[in-house]
A and B are shown apart, each in its own frame.
Chain A
Amino acid sequence: MAVNPVYHQSNTKLREELDWIRDAKKDPERFGPLYSKYHEQIFRYVYQRMDDEDLAFDVTSQVFIKAMSNIRKYEYRGVPFSSWLYRIAKSELYQSFRDRKARRTVNVESTHLFEMIEEFDEDDNAENKVKLMRILSTIREDDLQLIELRYFEKRSYREMGEILDITENNAKVRTFRALDRLKKQFLK
């Protein structure tokens, strides 16, 4: 599933986006185009990690309010605007978990589970699926974040690095280690 279709955008679109950002810095009411462009992506990122739809919309709105408040601090240095929004979304999401407004949820598709079990060289049967789901609900939060971004949302290591504020290479290494730990638990 290609979750972030506009991540690799053309130069024209990028320039247009930078113009929107410049306008929004001058007047937050002109944040509209950015909101329209990124609302769905951010909502899906949030909703992927919680089970309450309305709360996911609320958190998404909160993300954009924060973004509007801090748009003056944003400077384009090669990192897409979307990654900056994802970082705010991550922060708001975990804030809602801390406030106990929402419960952390892992939403997985059968195909994702199948791909992972295949990677572990195990049989794709119901028992293994249940086992993997159980392990996913207990692994470290850091590991789960990496697995979600890489295997469930199909993001590139570069984008993962930008969202998690780490280097691309670091994202790669961390993901392999997380997968390795998951595998060890799965094969126990």
Chain B
Amino acid sequence: MEKRRTTLDREPLSSEYIKDRQDFSSVLKGFKASQIPLWKSTWFYGSVGLAAVAAVLSITNLLHNTKKHDLKSTPLQVATYNVDQDSPPASDENNAVLERSQETDPSVHAIKESDPPDVPEKEVSRTVAPESKAEDHVDQLVVAEDRPDEPVHRVSEPVNPEPVYPKKTMATLVGVVDGPVFVGSLCASDGIECNDGSTVLSYTIQYNNGMGEDAIETIRGRQISSYMCDKIRRYNVNQEILITRIIVETPDGSRKMVPSIRIVPTY
């Protein structure tokens, strides 16, 4: 079966004839027609698509960051009420209680943390959950500015769940908050001290008791016992010891938790 046609001695075309049929302008026209406009090309769509995705991501990120920033800088709603009132409401009901209280009791008013511009956010008091007193869930006693004779409890609902402590009260061990401490000085000291005259009521210490794992003990008072000193001397030299949940009583009688201490006993 014949696949293709065979021609014998076809009349050849002259070079002049072929030259006459040359038409570069029509080729150029065809070339221009065959060119895909930039906006129709895959490259264009790819680039634009990529740019759009990048823009959306950037905007989302920016909005997210702005939101985060706004949340951080949102003033805390603080309800105040009389000291002789019952225990403060649950924190998630604070707003409702605040509104009700403002309507019914003129002595109750809201204080915004941001009101005093010089008070940094970290100074916002928060509920300390100490041991077993009825008023333990009460944050601290404060005095309303307009009625200094009426002490009020302040209950706050911090947006940031991270504990915030009064800046001024710091507990130290041999004058150290974070760093190395000579074992001798540690054992000879009177224990944990506060820089503002507050008394340490209890603390939790995490150290190696020689039993192969870290012991976590809650100690009443501020002393480092001789038993503990012995363990520290034997098993904790050059190892980190954490002292956390340090509950102190301030000179005005309120209780609060102060920042933890991290020491490394050395010789």
Contact = CB atoms under 8 A, between A and B. Distances in A.
Interface of A: 28-29, 31-32, 35-36, 39-40, 43-44, 47, 51, 53, 57, 61-62, 64-65, 68-69, 103-110, 113, 129, 133-134, 136-138, 144
Contacts of A43: 18, 21
B2 A61 contact: no
Given A39-B19, A43-B21, A103-B4, 5 more contacts: A35-B22, A64-B27, A104-B3, A104-B5, A133-B6
B133 interface: no
Contacts of A133: 6, 8
Interface of B: 1-10, 13, 15, 18-19, 21-24, 26-28, 30-31, 34-35
Nearest to A41: B18
A69 B21 contact: no
12 contacts: A36-B22, A39-B18, A39-B22, A44-B13, A44-B18, A51-B10, A61-B27, A68-B27, A107-B10, A137-B3, A138-B3, A144-B4
B60 to A, nearest CB: 39
B8 A36 contact: no
A40 B18 contact: yes
Given A137-B2, A137-B3, A65 B27 contact: yes
A69 B34 contact: yes
A154 B170 CA distance: 101
Nearest to A64: B27
Given A65-B27, A68-B31, A110 B3 contact: no
Contacts of A113: 8
A108 B7 CA distance: 6
A43 B22 CA distance: 10
B36 to A, nearest CB: 10
B143 to A, nearest CB: 82
B9 A51 contact: no
Contacts of A108: 6-9
A137 B5 contact: yes
A3 B120 CA distance: 92
A32 B21 CA distance: 14
A40 B19 CA distance: 7
Contacts of B35: 69
B22 to A, nearest CB: 5
B126 to A, nearest CB: 69
Contacts of B8: 108-110, 113, 129, 133
B17 to A, nearest CB: 10
A106 B27 contact: no
A164 B15 CA distance: 26
A104 B21 contact: no
Nearest to B22: A39
Given A28-B31, A40-B15, A103 B23 contact: no
A95 B23 CA distance: 22
A91 B13 CA distance: 23
A138 B6 CA distance: 10
Contacts of A64: 27, 31
Nearest to B33: A65
Given A35-B27, A61-B23, A61-B27, A51 B18 contact: no
Contact of B6 (A31, A53, A65, A137): A137
Contacts of A28: 28, 31
Given A40-B15, A40-B18, A53-B13, A65 B5 contact: no
